[in-house]
């Protein structure tokens, strides 16, 4: 797994960060840490640390807006991780289909007398 994908999955492994990322996705103009903390069960400082981790993973962008810093979602890293998962899922789908076919063929090739044992 590429390091970029690992960083994305690590960032999204925390439920608070997943919720923050989802909230950022809903607000195209971004939100401040204070706005996000108003609806969270953790402190503003904790929200800032989570947002920094999301930014380091490429999932958020911090933009200064006067005295405030607004955070917006950035989907490029998530799309890259999704593409990585899609490739792996396709490979597993092929493997499982081959296994299913092998089991079905093995069942069909057994004669009725061999099942009586």
CATH code (residue 67)? 1.10.10.10
The tens digit of pLDDT for each residue in 80-102 reads 998 888 887 777 878 888 888 88
Judge contact between 30 and 64, C-beta under 8 A.
Answer: no
Residue range 6-27: mean pLDDT, rounded: 95
Per the listing, tokens 């950035």 go with: 74
Per-residue pLDDT, 114: 52
Q: ∠ CA(70), CA(76), CA(82), 5° rounding?
A: 125
Q: Does the residue 114 lie in any domain?
A: no
Q: Does the residue 117 lie in any domain?
A: no
Per-residue pLDDT, 111: 53
Q: ∠ CA(80), CA(56), CA(74), 5° rounding?
A: 50
For residue 75, the enclosing domain spans 1-109
């Amino acid at each position: 797994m590429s390091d970029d994908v690992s960083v994305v999955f690590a960032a999204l492994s925390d439920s608070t960060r997943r919720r923050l990322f989802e909230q950022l996705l809903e607000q195209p103009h971004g939100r401040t840490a204070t706005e996000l903390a108003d609806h969270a069960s953790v402190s503003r400082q904790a929200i800032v640390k989570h947002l920094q981790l999301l930014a380091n993973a490429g999932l958020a962008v911090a933009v200064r807006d006067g005295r405030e810093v607004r955070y917006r979602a950035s989907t490029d890293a998530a799309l890259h991780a999704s593409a990585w998962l899609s490739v792996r899922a396709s490979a597993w789908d092929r493997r499982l289909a081959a296994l299913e076919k092998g089991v079905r063929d093995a069942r069909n090739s057994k004669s009725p007398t061999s099942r009586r044992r």
